[in-house]
Amino acid sequence: MHATEQLRQNLQLAWHFYQQQKQHSKERVLRWVQGILLLFIITLSQTSASIQVYLGQNLANLLGADLVLSQPRALTASQHNELSAMAEQIVLSQSLTTTLTYNDQWQRATLKAVAEDYPLQGELRSAAFPGGPDSASSQGPAIGEIWLDSRLLAALGLQIGEPLRIGDQQLTVSRILLHEPDRLMEGHNVEMRALLHRQDLQQFRAAEDIIQHRYLVEANTQQIATIRQWHKTHLPAAQLHHKHGAHPLALFWQRTENFIGLASILLFFMAAIAMQQLSRAQLPQQQFFSAVCLSLGASKQRVLQISVLKWLFGLLLLLPPVLLLSALCHWLALQWLKAHVFAGQELAGSVATLIWQPDITLAVKTVFASAAIFIVFNLPLWLALRQCSVRQLIQQQQRSISNAVLFGCALLVLGGVAAHYSDNGLLTAMLLGSMIASIALLLVLSWLALSLGEKLSQPFSGLLPFALYMMKQRLLSKTTQILGIGLAAFLLLFTLMLLKDLGDNMAAHQRAHDGNLLVTQASATQMADIEVWAAQHNITIRQHKPFIYAQLSHINGGLLTEVMQKPSDSLAAFNRPVRLHWSADMPGNNRLVNGQWWHSAADNWQQLSVEQEVMTDLGLQLGDKLELVIGGHSIEFSIVASHAYQSGAGAITFWLQMPPAALAHISAPQYSMASLELQPQQFSLLPQLWQQHPSLRMVSLQELTQRFDSSLAMVTRLISGFAGLIMLLAGIVMLSSVHAVEAKEQKKNSIILSFGLSKRTCLQLTMIEWLVTGAIAACGAIVATWLAGLLIYQSQFSLTYQPDMGWLLGTLAVIITLVTTLGMLLSKHSLSGSVRQLLAE
Amino acid sequence: MSLSALSTIALTNVSQSFSHHGHQVQLFQQLSLCIEQGRSYAITGPSGSGKSSLLMLMAGLEQPSAGQVAYLQHGRSMKLTQLRQDIGFVFQQFHLLPELTVLANVALPLKLRGEKNAEATASTWLEKVGLGHRLNHKPQQLSGGEQQRAAIARALVFQPKFIFADEPTGNLDSKSAANVADLLFDCCRQNGAALVIVTHSPPLAARAQQVLAFNNGNCALLVKPQMEVQDACY
């Protein structure tokens, strides 16, 4: 027979086989599992691609120049000359984050100062009054004027034409600021904004290094290349963005995709459990079909081909609805992101917007990758089919699937997914570690509970001992079932617990240790005034720690941007200057993790202690050299220790710390961080401080809580969507595990009926089994959640986790009730066994 | 044994039919008979003639289309739910639970009834059927004959008053079949239980005290000359 003819026949047979089986409940459940995973992966990749495309456009539209160079300090005269020689034109904008006050209102805002040469490229848009028509302005505010964005105007309760006092300076609010063309990165935060003349800013006499200097450069491609080279050698600590480069947020979004991808390992794990159960349930039918084909003279290869083709038909027919649904989810995700994440950008009238445009090539790639995953999941079934023979028809024996093969395949897929999405060692280790710990815990708990239960109840008769005995006999399938349910419950619990506790704990903890007002940056003069002011009003200063700003430029001689390619929180923070603290002794809220803290009398002042997570994120080791730019000078430090936060002595902690001896060799402005405890009525005293020191950075607990709440609300929505998927998969895991043992259960129930016992006994037995399953899964999930809470709260949020026992017990009851009810509903079919069925076999 | 001292299943004018693709199929009509504790019965007839349906009616597990099934104890009428507690089954496919050992399989009905010495009683029964040396084996480690012995022990261990056996030797070679039949009849006799066997085997049917033969929708109670039984089995 020709190969094509044989393939045609195989296709026909496979199609026929598929058509016959597609209505079987097992096939339906399999379609659900594959469908959910495909939907999740396609939506994630498409949304991420849309964001990256948007960021690319955003970069081109919001640079406001061909190249932007920014750093806290102004360029020196020689640097400015060199840059001018390489560029067509340079325009400077300066920005400073401050708190503006008017009457009794205050509002944190970013002040941007420009001169007559601004803007360089693009349009500066403003309006004459709130809600008025917007118009393009050829230049910014005149001296003595300030433009506020409408939110800031409303927050301060100001009107156009009214005076606004900043420090000693009085400015007139003349227009509403709508859009500045160089808002790269600024549209992604919610800070309110104001624009004023550069000369007015100089009146504030703010320290040089707290003002962000941004040089907007007009340059051709050749000049851009030259400036980039010059930047590497002359100003490595400055940030450079150009219109052909990557968006500064691109790495952040890559990170978000990776995090969600990593979290999806749990979805894959649950899918692996469901598919494993389904493979077991499908095997008898497939083996029977194959054995019949073999008995009719078909080769094993052909039988296998038919099985693979049948699977392929299933996948192909699944694609149209999944692709349609994922397109819809993609659209919904973008709408949500537009409304909640990129809202500032849209408000600012940015030209670029998030566009729903499915990437077909990416979708095809994603489908192929998912198909490869499903193939690996299905491999054990095909391997078992390879061993199928006609003998089975005669001897009525079935070959089962090897557990080692099942486990190996699941591990292969999970390893692959982890490797694909992993970008950060610590995060991957933490996520995978907590998952592995909870899996191990559930396994041990299942084994212990069932073995002990069976052992202890052995001398007794009755339904409970029998149920435990049967569960112990089916330890493997029961454990798998418990694992699936337990993991889902763990995820849901952890998610809910995190949301509930974080808010409560944070507020309580912050108040107990840190007061309700945090000074995040105060110069020496400002701090001295704060101390006087605090003493006058009987306000307690709870903590006070000094620091200087340092920009990390090189690691072991290599440029930071070149050495670090993978995104991480630490790297994102190190793109800006970070706070460098000095202390002779280990601070009370730190503990030594590695290395040795310096002796106060040490001669070697070029030593650093680096926070543990930063070490991991940046892949640093003791002995590594870090070059920091401090006060315009590069200084090389050697890492001698690594520290970690410990609770109990205040929350102000620093990533980088050096010996106090270093101060003698460094010339840079010194600042302080502090925390204060104010009485509610004393908050009205704050405007006085801010008017005196506009550049003083303070944030009240209320503001912190507000910021936290808005972030939490966003995370809650994201997590709720994820939790929905988890619940759906948990239901499917239960369904597939019921399917896997349905025939056995039905037979068991029929046999029980043949002993003269009633259906009620079968019902009670099934209920006991689900109660035990639910109880073990719920206990495992709660213990795992508690452990994860303990570890993650401590390491990520620096909070001491105190679980609410009432809440945990309530959850236990809810999980057991839910699992038992759902289990009973799903077991309806296996409860329909009868003696007649046994007679008919 | 006097009738009033025994348990009896009485079928009065019982008919059974079912609907198949809109057609009414009649299995049997107006059948009246009594199954008395301590006696043995064989039901014979071609496949699909209604033997298993009659078995289900006798066991009180199905309702007849017409007529009455009654359970009498000491002459008093009892509920059919009571009858269900007094019956045991032996199947052609043995239907032992593969996850359990032979001992656990036999102890199963006792454990479910909450009996304290379930395993000791089960062990005694396994000794009785000649499987004392196989207590901790799994069913798949036993031969067909041995599995059926275990199934007989399981059916009798909780002392039911009626044993219903559906083709108990249908899956066995002739030697094992003869052994199993001996065992089944002996155990039922010793226990004072009624034995109702559905079978195609003339020698097995011939061992019963009474034979019910199905033929073309009729069911007749045969008197027991050997030849008649031979003809009734198909």
Q: In angstroms, rounded to a whole number, what is the distance separating the alpha carbons of residues A257 and B20? A: 59
The whole-angstrom distance between A402's CA and the closest CA on chain B is 17
CB contact under 8 A, A835 and B112: no
CB contact under 8 Å between B111 and A756, yes or no, is no
User: How many Cβ atoms are within 10 Å of A158's Cβ, its own excluded?
Assistant: 19
Rg, C-alpha atoms of chain A: 33
Yes or no: say if A45 and A260 are a contact pair by the CB < 8 Å rule.
no
In contact, A347 and A177? CB cutoff 8 Å: no
Classify strands B194-198 and B40-44 as parallel, antiparallel or unpaired. parallel
Contact call for A757 and B95, based on CB within 8 A: no
Q: Fill in the amino acid letter for A469.
A: Y
pLDDT at A197: 92
Q: Is B233 or A326 the better-scoring residue by pLDDT?
A: A326
**pLDDT of res. A515:** 63
Q: Is A632 exposed, middle or buried (0-12, 13-18, 19+ CB in 10 A)?
A: middle
Find, among A420, A426, A381, A417, the residue nearest to A399 by Cα: A381
Task: Spell out the alpha helix ranges (H) of chain B.
Answer: 51-58, 80-84, 102-112, 118-128, 144-156, 174-191, 202-206, 226-232
Q: Which of B51, B89, B102, B147 is most worth mutating to test chain A (most A CB atoms within 10 A of its CB)?
A: B89
The answer to whether the peptide bond before residue A687 is cis (omega within 30 degrees of 0) is no
From B88's Cα to the closest Cα of chain A, the distance in A is 6
- Tell me how close the Cα of A399 comes to any Cα of chain B, in angstroms: 14
C-alpha distances in Å from residue B193, one per residue of B56, B112, B150, B164: 17, 21, 18, 10
* Best A396, A460, A461 residue to mutate vs chain B (most B CBs within 10 Å): A461
Q: What are A404-410's contacts with CB under 8 Å, separation 24+?
A: A405/A379, A405/A380, A406/A276, A406/A279, A406/A380, A409/A272, A409/A376, A409/A377, A409/A379, A409/A380, A410/A269, A410/A272, A410/A273, A410/A276, A410/A377
* CB contact at 8 A, B153 and B116: no
Residue A306, C-beta contacts closer than 8 angstroms, at least 6 positions apart? A10, A13, A14, A17, A293
Q: Please tell me if residue A478 touches chain B, with a CB cutoff of 8 Å.
A: no
A113 Cβ neighbours under 8 A, 6+ residues apart: A93, A94, A95, A96, A195, A196, A197, A198, A200, A201
- The answer to whether B166 faces chain A, any CB pair under 8 Å, is yes
Q: Does A743 touch chain B (CB under 8 A)?
A: no
A837 touches chain B (CB under 8 A): no
**Inter-chain residue contact B166 with A465, CB threshold 8 Å:** no
Round to whole Å and give the CA distance between A506 and A707: 12
Cβ–Cβ below 8 Å for B99 and A761: no
Q: Do A835 and B89 touch (CB under 8 A)?
A: yes
DSSP secondary structure, A748-788, as one string: HHHHHHHTT--HHHHHHHHHHHHHHHHHHHHHHHHHHHHHH
Cβ-Cβ pairs closer than 8 A, A with B, add up to 83
Question: Is A474 an interface residue toward B (CB < 8 Å)?
Answer: yes
Task: Report the pLDDT value the prediction gives residue A771, as an integer from 0 to 100.
Answer: 92
B97 touches chain A (CB under 8 A): yes
Chain A residues in contact with B100 by the CB 8 A cut-off are: 473
The answer to whether B203 and B36 have CB atoms below 8 angstroms apart is no
Interface test mutation site (partner A, options B57, B82, B85, B99, max chain A beta carbons within 10 A): B99
At A534, is the secondary structure helix, strand, or coil?
Answer: helix
- Whether A137 and A126 have beta carbons less than 8 Å apart is answered as yes
Give mean pLDDT, residues B91-95.
87
Closest chain A residue to the Cα of B198, Cα to Cα: A839
* A250-295 and A403-421 helices, crossing angle to 10°: 160
Put simply, whether A469 touches B (Cβ < 8 Å) is yes
What is d(CA B140, CA B143) in angstroms, rounded to the nearest whole number? Answer: 8
For residue A769, give the nearest of A704, A823, A727, A725 by alpha carbon: A823
* Cα dist from A105 to A101, A157, A269, A710, whole Å: 6, 8, 53, 21
Q: For residues B192 and B5, which has the higher predicted lDDT (pLDDT)?
A: B192
pLDDT tens across B191-225, in order? 889 999 999 888 889 889 999 888 776 776 665 54
Q: How far is B193 from chain A (nearest CA, A)?
A: 15
Nearest CA in chain A to B168: A839
Residue ranges of the alpha helices (H) in B73-201? 80-84, 102-112, 118-128, 144-156, 174-191
pLDDT at residue A609 in the model = 93
Q: Which residues, 6+ apart, have CB-to-CB distance to B202 below 8 Å?
A: B44, B229, B230, B233
Residues of chain A with Cβ-Cβ distance to B79 below 8 Å are: none
Q: Which residue of B has its CA nearest to A749?
A: B97
Nearest chain A residue to B116 by CA distance is A461
The torsion angles phi and psi of A560, rounded to 5 degrees, stand at -50, -50
CA nearest neighbour of A130 among A159, A102, A100: A159
DSSP state of A793: I
- More confident position, B26 or A460: B26
Cβ of B52 within 8 Å of Cβ of A839? The answer is yes
Q: Report d(CA A380, CA A408) in Å as an integer.
A: 9
In Å, how far is A824's CA from the nearest CA of chain B? 20
**Nearest residue of chain A to residue B80 (CA atoms):** A756
Matching residue, tokens 């490229």? A121
Chosen for mutation from B16, B53, B91 (greatest number of chain A CBs closer than 10 Å) is B91
Contact between chains at B91 and A838 (C-beta distance less than 8 A): yes
Confidence (pTM): 0.62
* Residue contact B111–A462, C-beta within 8 A: yes
How much of chain B is in helix, strand and coil states, percent to nearest 5? 35, 30, 35
Measured over all CA atoms, what is the biggest interatomic distance in chain B, rounded to whole angstroms? 54
Residues of B in contact with A468 (CB under 8 A): none
> For chain A, first and last CA: distance in Å?
40
Q: How far is A754 from chain B (nearest CA, A)?
A: 6
Higher-pLDDT residue of A805 and B155 is B155
Are the Cβ atoms of B111 and A461 closer than 8 angstroms? yes
Question: What is the C-alpha to C-alpha distance for residues B48 and A514, in angstroms, rounded to an integer?
Answer: 86
Inter-chain touch A755–B55, beta carbons under 8 Å: no
* Residue B223, C-beta contacts closer than 8 angstroms, at least 6 positions apart: none
Per-residue confidence (pLDDT) for residue A495, from 0 to 100 = 65
Q: Is B197 on the interface with A (CB under 8 A)?
A: no
Q: Is A841 on the interface with B (CB under 8 A)?
A: yes
Q: What whole-number distance in Å separates Cα of residue A106 and Cα of residue A100?
A: 6
Six-digit token string for B222: 């045969």
**Nearest chain B Cα distance for residue A765, angstroms:** 10
Distance set, CA B195 to CA A97, B35, B140, B166 (Å): 96, 9, 27, 11
With a CB cutoff of 8 Å and minimum separation 6, the contacts of A618 are A555, A564, A568, A570, A571, A574
Return the pLDDT at A580: 93
Q: Measured between CB atoms, does B100 come within 8 Å of chain A?
A: yes
Which three-class secondary structure state does DSSP give residue A413? helix
CA distance A762 to A753: 8
Q: Do A469 and B104 touch (CB under 8 A)?
A: yes
Q: Where are the beta strands (DSSP E) in A668-821?
A: 671-677, 697-700
A475 touches chain B (CB under 8 A): no
Option in B91, B97, B99 nearest A839 (CB): B91
Say if B120 is an interface residue toward chain A (CB within 8 Å).
no
How distant is the Cα of A744 from the closest Cα of chain B, in angstroms? 8
Tokens standing for A125?
A: 């848009």
Q: State the pLDDT at residue A219.
A: 86
Token digits for A315?
Answer: 């996948």
* Mean pLDDT of all residues belonging to chain B: 84
Query: ∠ at Cα A286 (A284, A291), nearest 5°?
Result: 90
Helix orientation angle between A759-792 and A742-754, rounded to the nearest 10 degrees: 140
Q: What is the 3-state secondary structure (H, E, C) of A68-117?
A: EEEECCCCCHHHHHHHHHHCCEEEEEEEEEEEEEECCEEEEEEEEEECCC
Q: What is the DSSP letter of B221?
A: E
Q: Quickly list DSSP for A229-283.
A: HHHHHH-TTSEEEETTS--TTHHHHHHHHHHHHHHHHHHHHHHHHHHHHHHHHHH
Mutation site for B-interface testing, chosen from A749, A751, A760 by largest number of B Cβ within 10 Å: A751
Residues 4-63 of B with CB under 8 A from A: 52, 55-56, 59, 61-62
| Phi, psi angle pair for A214, to nearest 5° | -120, 120
CA distance, residue A756 to nearest chain B CA (Å)? 4
Measured in angstroms, the CA of A458 and the nearest CA of chain B are apart by 10
Q: Is B112 on the interface with A (CB under 8 A)?
A: yes
- Tell me which residue in B55, B84, B93 faces A756 most closely, judged by beta carbons: B84
Contact list, A836 vs chain B (CB under 8 Å): 52, 56, 61-62
Q: Do B99 and A838 touch (CB under 8 A)?
A: no
Q: Looking at residue B234, what is its pLDDT?
A: 44
Interval B160-171: pLDDT, tens: 999 999 888 887
| Chain B residues closer than 8 Å to A460 by CB | 116
pLDDT, averaged per 10 consecutive residues of chain A (841 residues), comes to 78 86 81 87 86 72 77 87 90 86 80 88 83 83 90 85 83 87 59 87 75 88 89 83 68 66 72 79 80 80 88 92 93 81 50 74 92 88 80 61 76 81 67 77 88 83 84 81 81 67 53 67 88 88 89 87 68 82 87 85 82 83 91 89 79 88 87 85 80 77 61 62 73 81 86 87 91 89 77 57 75 87 88 80 69
Dihedrals phi, psi of A619, to nearest 5 degrees: 65, 40
